[in-house]
Chains A and B, each alone.
Chain A
């Protein structure tokens, strides 16, 4: 198939960017979206134009490194990561707009590459259970009811890709944060730090310049791991509880 791509090009963090149009031809539907961009980059390279910078690493939908806004949809039209999106989801003659995640908490580094360090800093603020190496009790000493274990697992599936932020009209990071709060908060091991965790993470989140949540739900529909909106509910509940307990 043949396609017209409109791609955001930006030379560096401070440079002004613009949309540039590139036609691509002979795209096979078995290609992944990123392989299609690889093909374009090979062509650019051959023409002596600098290839388009975009992030990807595992290319199997698990590392969370890739992420593009494809015609206004985070990770494109399917519920999956950009690297797992295949060209069979498009048709011949389509015009596709490709932009980086847009959020001030995710500044653009170059072309389609953004800096998601703010997510790491939110985790630093409390997204962990303090258990020094070697201090752990025998694994079977604390049983975890299966429904709780399953729910923790569901929330732990978040890959930190940032699509939720990219899709949110408020550029809020609540789904990402809610997923971590739920993952750790469902487990008995996560209880001792539960109040401090939510308060510190939320305050870091606000400090990073993410927007506030107005429960629109676009995050969850863009999430490649289908993290449900109720993790935000859980976060709010934990936050309310923690504030009432004076954290």
Chain B
């Protein structure tokens, strides 16, 4: 249960910036030494085996049925382990992976355009702004090719060419075509593949499915993760589920910003509860802001909708040169009065610069007062994404064939026809690179607790390249975790655990108490109103551009808001039925704690890297400036206790194969 001190700890002596403490560095990530292309093989070979007859006796809980969780549940089920799978939606098929549009990368080199595992590895490390681990990223690139084989065998209907072979496109700032796609529904098709594999195991009896269940606590016994406490969202019952190992594949926490491209129910609860039980949270401030979203239309907005950035392949981005033109019909603004600012600033990459750059420049031109669309607050927050040239070059049919569903979606949401009027786009929070810290085995700092997919701090460093989250989710789920968790499970069977064990009872009681607490506050503000306010603070101070002053202010504001939340939130209804306000209350309560940690992380990282522009760290011409000498590490945060301060553990990033360079897309 949470209650907070209101004293801004900026005044607490002995802490860095007054807000955090520094602990021991992390020295071992368990990646085997040796040539990079042999490490994963070495690890797989060294991982102990589990005799097929023993697998039935070993149980695994998997929270999440997205690509990362669904794939893992299916694979472990096929291997013969006893799996319990959880999701908060009514069906595992609805995990938010389904929303991914653009595609999935794989180093198949089907286009013979110079791609290779090494190049995918290299691009990902570079794209991540040299803040990810070489060993992990190499492994990701290595298994990427198996993913495509696996998905095709499951019946995933990837786009094909007339010859019947798979088609590829180039995506998100890379110069080779290595992205596999299924029109604008790649995530859906991949997820349905994993879902079907999962349902097949449910039918086979190896996986037991718990949909409409929300995990609210991890059970840690003798330092090992041994289960979870979950609420049945239909009956409200608080249930205890015990197992030999727990996997969190609960997705990203972008909803801390209230408005994001995540699903309404996306949350940090699963990972945050684990964090509070001892799992380190790594790089929480690394969030990705996606450049091509539909702009906010008004106060009521409940979420933002992404349009695949593949649109940038054929669309041109511009704003008026003169602020005076911003209200005009864009079709009446002559060519010479338009500023195709990405093409102007980055002649070689143009509209295809990486996401972080495209987003920040959009923000810059709007901050200059040259944004378009309706005013939200004092600014117009939108830039044009114009298909006029493409329509001339390719014909309306060809454009529709390639982007039809995206353009239709735009029209449905905005009521404007993109075949006639240029679309308006604006950046929105889209992905969180940060997450629970894991070693090479995807094991968190709690033994027996594994974390996969977007929920871990992953392989993307400070910035994720397009089409590589799907790749990571499936790599983790199908090909990495099943090997590494095996090594852990081989140490079992673990001692039998009763529900009456003290630690189990305690975990369950704390969940019960929290639920009761929410219902008993009976204040007068809705959960959503707190969530919106938190979102505004985060977007304002911990979004694309951050400064020390702003972050300190944000920390204070969040503490104040959290304090008010626990005094004044209003949650109606009962605990023993479907109660969506109660669900939201739990999620927002955790976001209110996470938000503070994100600001602390952002505050301590006094450099601009990836999508994060730190005002105090820029080059003379205003580009992001990294400080590799000081910050080439993973920041893994340990929970400092309810009233304590978080403790920073640094894991140094060593680059043996790729040379660190300042990114340049000019």
Contact = CB atoms under 8 A, between A and B. Distances in A.
Contacts of B195: 123
Nearest to B195: A123
Interface in B1-58: none
A63 B305 CA distance: 13
A188 to B, nearest CB: 9
B578 A190 contact: no
B166 A140 contact: yes
Contacts of A160: 91, 93-94
A120 B209 CA distance: 10
Contacts of A60: 99, 261, 303, 305-306, 409
Interface in A150-166: 152-153, 156-157, 159-160
Interface stretch (B197-205, B240-248, B316-324): B197-205
A222 to B, nearest CB: 16
Interface residues of A, number: 78
A189 B154 contact: yes
A128 B298 contact: no
A74 to B, nearest CB: 17
Q: Most chain-A Cβ atoms within 10 A of its Cβ — which of B96, B185, B300, B526? A: B300
A120 B89 contact: no
Interface in B275-325: 297-298, 300-303, 305-306
B577 A58 contact: no
A60 to B, nearest CB: 5
Given A58-B263, A120-B91, A153-B182, A45 B581 contact: yes
A124 B202 contact: yes
A110 B577 contact: yes
A88 interface: yes
Contacts of B528: 38, 42
A133 B526 contact: no
A56 interface: yes
Given A110-B577, A116-B90, A116-B91, A134 B150 contact: yes
A145 to B, nearest CB: 5
Contact of B415 (A84, A88, A132, A184): A88
A51 B199 contact: no
| Main DSSP-derived SS at the A contact region | loop
B182 to A, nearest CB: 6
A39 B532 CA distance: 14
Contact of B78 (A133, A146, A159, A183): A133
| Most chain B beta-carbon neighbours within 10 Å: one of A13, A31, A113, A139 | A139
Nearest to A54: B580
A34 B90 contact: no
A95 B149 CA distance: 52
Given A46-B526, A113-B578, A57 B302 contact: no
Residue among B96, B148, B196, B234 with max Cβ neighbours from chain A (10 Å): B196
Contact of A156 (B89, B164, B166, B192): B192
B78 to A, nearest CB: 5
Given A57-B89, A128-B200, A153-B182, A84 B413 contact: yes
Nearest to A129: B155
A6 interface: no
A124 B153 contact: no
Given A51-B572, A62-B188, A134-B146, A129 B153 contact: yes
A56 B528 CA distance: 15
A140 B110 contact: yes
B513 interface: no
A100 interface: no
Interface in B119-173: 146, 148-155, 157-166
Contacts of A115: 90, 234
A183 B99 contact: no
Contacts of A116: 90-91
B155 A183 contact: yes
B479 interface: yes
A106 B463 CA distance: 42
B300 A39 contact: yes
Contact of B185 (A51, A110, A133, A157): A157
Nearest to B263: A57
A71 interface: no
B98 A127 contact: no
Contacts of B302: 32, 34-35, 38, 59
A63 B98 contact: yes
B578 A110 contact: yes
B644 interface: no
B300 A153 contact: no
Contacts of A12: 577-578
Interface string A76-88: 0010100010101
A115 to B, nearest CB: 7
A86 B75 CA distance: 41
B203 A138 contact: no
A137 B572 contact: no
Nearest to B572: A50
A153 B414 CA distance: 27
Interface in A165-194: 183-184, 187, 189-190
B526 A123 contact: no
Contacts of B306: 60
B183 interface: yes
A144 interface: yes
22 contacts: A28-B298, A51-B572, A53-B580, A57-B265, A59-B263, A63-B99, A109-B578, A110-B577, A117-B90, A120-B91, A124-B202, A124-B203, A127-B199, A128-B199, A129-B153, A134-B478, A134-B479, A136-B146, A136-B153, A157-B188, A159-B98, A160-B91
Given A38-B528, A143-B164, A183-B157, 11 more contacts: A38-B302, A51-B580, A51-B581, A61-B409, A124-B199, A130-B200, A140-B110, A143-B163, A145-B164, A153-B183, A189-B152
Interface of B: 71, 74-75, 78, 89-94, 96, 98-99, 108, 110, 146, 148-155, 157-166, 182-183, 185, 187-189, 192, 195-197, 199-200, 202-203, 209, 211, 234, 261, 263-265, 297-298, 300-303, 305-306, 409, 412-415, 478-479, 482, 524, 526, 528-529, 570, 572-573, 577-581
